[in-house]
Amino acid sequence: MSVDVRKTANKLAGEAGIAIRDMHNAEDARRWVRFADTIWQGNSHIDTPMVVALAHAGNYVTGAFIEDELVGILLGFWHEPASKSLHSHIAAVRADLT
Instruction: At 88, give phi and psi (nearest 5°).
Output: -80, 105
d(CA 90, CA 39): 11
CA–CA separation, 1 vs 10, rounded Å? Answer: 13
With a CB cutoff of 8 Å and minimum separation 6, the contacts of 35 are: 63, 70, 73, 92
Average pLDDT of every residue of the chain: 88
pLDDT tens digits, residue range 14-26?
999 999 999 999 9
**What does the pLDDT average to over 78-91?**
76
